[in-house]
Amino acid sequence: MHVILGGTFDPVHHGHLRLAVELKEQLGVDRVTLVPCHIPPHRAQPGASSADRLRLLLQAVAAEPGLEVDDRELSRDGASFTADTLRQLREELGPRMPIAMVVGTDAFAAFDRWRDWQAIPELAHIIVVQRPGVDLPAASEAMALLAARRARSVQQLHDRPHGLILALSPPLLDISATGIRERIARGCSPRYLLPDSVWLDICAHGLYGHNGEA
């Protein structure tokens, strides 16, 4: 099964990396693929350039063979839409390979506002990860979709190429990229919230308003 975790990774932090490792183990796959998005259609512009975010991500996964980075959305012109990425992956991986995309309950709650969202279950499975304090609204399209397509086990995802939704509640670290950017801009240290290699690169390149001192 090919498992993708999309996001802005602005910057990547231990919350993302822990989630990816937990997913790799819970899903029984060799690898989880992190997919940084170029121009996120549903949110404010990121604080660092695509090239900076990609370099930080590559550094973060360098020592972890179970994680890899797919930069296809950064090399595509214009906005990144998940359905386009999944269509490309489906063509590359063929009709039978299970593909699963991971989304937090925060993102999945607004799933029916994603471009071409109805096509997504025809291309991939969806793994919805419970974010603390963000439940799906009871009477929502997202909840209806979950009820209709809910997977009862991880094995079901391995047995079919697409179409199921699995709800998971892995332990999550209470870390957000927003909190890290705010700390850096205030002159506070974000150390231990993200890999040291990523922090040193942020310092070296003066990202997120950092003054360049480690």
From 10, 52, 73, 201, residue interacting with ligand ATP (rule: CB under 6 A): 10
195 binds ligand ATP (CB under 6 A): no
Would you say 31 or 131 has its CB closer to ligand ATP?
131
Would you say 13 or 162 has its CB closer to ligand ATP?
13
189 binds ligand ATP (CB under 6 A): no
16 binds ligand ATP (CB under 6 A): yes
169 binds ligand ATP (CB under 6 A): no
Would you say 102 or 202 has its CB closer to ligand ATP?
102
From 30, 176, 206, 212, residue interacting with ligand ATP (rule: CB under 6 A): 176
* CB of residue 104 to ligand ATP, shortest distance in Å: 3
Which is nearest to 151 in space by CA: 107, 121, 116?
121
DSSP string across the chain: -EEEEEE--TT--HHHHHHHHHHHHHHT-S-EEEEE-SS-TTSPPPSS-HHHHHHHHHHHHTT-TTEEE--HHHHSSS---HHHHHHHHHHHH-SSS-EEEEEEHHHHTTGGGSTTGGGGGGT-EEEEE-BTTBPPPTTSHHHHHHHHHB-SSHHHHHHSSS--EEEE--------HHHHHHHHHHT---TTSS-HHHHHHHHHHTGGG--S--
Question: What value does the CA radius of gyration of the chain take, rounded to a whole number of Å?
Answer: 17
9 binds ligand ATP (CB under 6 A): yes
178 binds ligand ATP (CB under 6 A): yes
172 binds ligand ATP (CB under 6 A): yes
The residue assigned the tokens 């990609």 is: 54
**Residues in contact with ligand ATP, shown as a per-residue x/- string from 103 to 132 under the rule CB under 6 A:** xx-xx-----------------------x-
Would you say 102 or 126 has its CB closer to ligand ATP?
102
Residues of this chain that interact with ligand ATP (CB under 6 A) are: 5, 7-10, 15-16, 19, 102-104, 106-107, 131, 172-173, 175-178
